[in-house]
A and B are shown apart, each in its own frame.
Chain A
């Protein structure tokens, strides 16, 4: 049961993008379309899962004082591998994401999970944690990418939804990224507040009954 929770907590409750506000740079920069968001999400997901596994495997041998540089080398190695693999097999996506593939190294989600989770937990739990957090990150990127693509070019994953007359070109440009993410963060926090209010009302009415 707790293993399942390791896996699912990244989706909503500890969602890296909307709740923890981590890894903002790639989130804003690569979500010009749903496909780009998906690509960046999957690249980060693979680095996160692999680095979580390795950090968890070596956690007993790593001296406390130099753990951060060691984690960074582990992460940077996997980023290099992902970079080379994407260059070889998904060249178009590699061109679009460009600078932001090597910059996965400094994505705070990855070092954050290595430090906060993988360095303290077993291999399987760390694997699930990395997979769950990575999927949560990917889902947020695809959501933001879809919103921006829909408003900016009237398509989702390249499928046309409405005519060109509705397009707001600015949504694909940098300002659109900030505004769309801000609106989504507002929506998430609105849902959170409503849910808390409902719970409070529920517990209050139960108290009255008792």
Chain B
């Protein structure tokens, strides 16, 4: 039950993009087309889960050595290395997957959703299983918001928007309305 609540909370109630403001850069950057949005979403789910499991294990070591103040430095380095490693591994072992996700991987290093998620898992004191569920849910929530947003933006391209609101401004207002819709889930799960 607790796992289900964590999942629901991370996907709908505390959606990473629309309620927690994590991962806004890719959200605004790669949401012009539906296909790129899906690709980015898949890459994020994959890296998020992998990164949070590894950082969770590393945090045990840091706590054991009394080095908690190094969390930020260690986590960001691990994430940056991991992304590079995943990229190399994919390139060699599954070129098809690399073709599909490759261009999004370097962008993920600077995606604050990954580091934010790793820190949140530690902050909330989740167990390993809860960490995995939370990470997958956060990735799914991110992908969902990204895909819905890309769908809206594809339509928005065809509409006659005032000159000064083209691009960033209209995208932000659209995101605001989307976020308003997601506010409806607030209070559904308390977590």
Interface residues of A (CB under 8 A from B): 21-22, 24-26, 28-29, 68-69, 72-73, 76-77, 79-80, 83-84, 99, 102-103, 105-108, 111, 170, 173-179, 181-183, 185-187, 189-190, 192-193
Contacts and interface: CB of A to CB of B under 8 A. Distances in A.
B180 A73 contact: no
Nearest to A83: B72
Nearest to A105: B76
B163 interface: yes
The DSSP consensus for interface residues of chain A is helix
Contact of A175 (B24, B119, B183): B183
Interface in B138-169: 162-169
Interface of B: 18-25, 28, 69-73, 76-77, 80-81, 110-112, 115-116, 119-120, 123, 162-177, 179-180, 183
Given A29-B20, A175-B176, A178-B175, A80 B169 contact: no
Given A111-B110, A183-B173, A29 B165 contact: no
17 contacts: A25-B21, A25-B25, A69-B80, A83-B72, A103-B112, A106-B115, A174-B18, A174-B21, A174-B179, A177-B176, A178-B173, A181-B172, A182-B171, A182-B172, A182-B173, A182-B176, A186-B164
A189 to B, nearest CB: 4
Contacts of A170: 180, 183
